[in-house]
């Protein structure tokens, strides 16, 4: 199974899946924060006192048109979005959407990968330009950010449509619907 993943990743140019479910990082114990999948946690620590969320340019040189929005505070272990309070989650999405609008007008898209394919435990929403050709028939139309779901397992990708948003859920890898 592992080999199939590696071959699939090589063929599709996808990042190698690094399961963050075993992440046991705890900001009060610096020795637990040294794992590579916790590097964004360390970046978040440098943003203390700057408000609830911060923005990072994706540092992958192959993704020059991507940004990340991250909470300053840490969740536990793999930092699941469904463990945030509703108010926190809504503000998290709003921050990402506002950044998307600022960069791409009404062509923005936001994506949250499922934890099975995340390479970083610290919660992060990918922000970019939505690839129209990636549109699929599997979506839920919602009118407000408050109606965005918080799936425990899969990822989410969301883009604007007249009168509201398409919420596409069910896949692990979500960020590939955004221009790199």
Name the residues that contact Zn ion, by CB under 5 A: 23, 25, 38, 41, 74, 121-122, 135, 139, 166
Interior CA angle at 77 toward 117 and 99, to 5°?
A: 65
> Are the C-beta atoms of residues 159 and 132 closer than 8 Å to each other?
no
Cβ proximity to Zn ion: between 44 and 99 the closer is 44
Distance CA 127, CA 180 (A): 10
Cβ proximity to Zn ion: between 41 and 99 the closer is 41
Cβ proximity to Zn ion: between 2 and 36 the closer is 36
Q: How far is the CB of 10 from Zn ion (least distance, A)?
A: 26
Q: How far is the CB of 22 from Zn ion (least distance, A)?
A: 9
Give the distance, in angstroms, between the CA of residue 145 and the centroid of all CA atoms in the same chain. 16
Distance CA 62, CA 48 (A): 29
Q: How far is the CB of 119 from Zn ion (least distance, A)?
A: 11
Q: How far is the CB of 19 from Zn ion (least distance, A)?
A: 12
Cβ proximity to Zn ion: between 61 and 163 the closer is 163
Residue 152's alpha-carbon distances to 42, 53, 82, 128, 171, in angstroms, are 24, 22, 6, 23, 12
Q: In what order do the strands lie in the sheet with 140-142?
A: 53-57, 67-71, 125-129, 108-112, 156-161, 164-169, 140-142
Cβ proximity to Zn ion: between 7 and 132 the closer is 132
Distance CA 48, CA 4 (A): 40
Q: How far is the CB of 23 from Zn ion (least distance, A)?
A: 4
């Amino acid at each position: 199974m592992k080999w199939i993943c590696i071959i699939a990743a090589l063929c599709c140019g996808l990042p190698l899946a690094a399961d963050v479910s075993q992440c046991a990082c705890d900001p009060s114990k610096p020795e637990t924060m040294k794992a590579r999948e916790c590097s964004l946690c360390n970046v978040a620590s440098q943003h203390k006192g700057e408000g609830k969320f911060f923005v990072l340019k994706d540092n992958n040189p192959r993704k020059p048109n991507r940004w990340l929005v991250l909470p300053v505070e840490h969740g536990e272990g793999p930092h699941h979005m469904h463990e945030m309070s509703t108010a926190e989650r809504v503000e998290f999405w709003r921050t990402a959407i506002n950044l998307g609008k600022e960069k791409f007008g009404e062509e923005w898209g936001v994506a949250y990968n499922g934890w099975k394919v995340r390479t970083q435990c610290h919660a992060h929403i990918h922000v970019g330009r939505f690839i129209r050709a990636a549109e699929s028939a599997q979506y839920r139309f919602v009118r407000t950010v408050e109606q965005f779901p918080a799936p425990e397992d899969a990822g989410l990708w969301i883009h604007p449509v007249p009168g509201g948003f398409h919420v596409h859920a069910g896949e692990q890898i979500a960020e590939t619907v955004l221009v790199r």
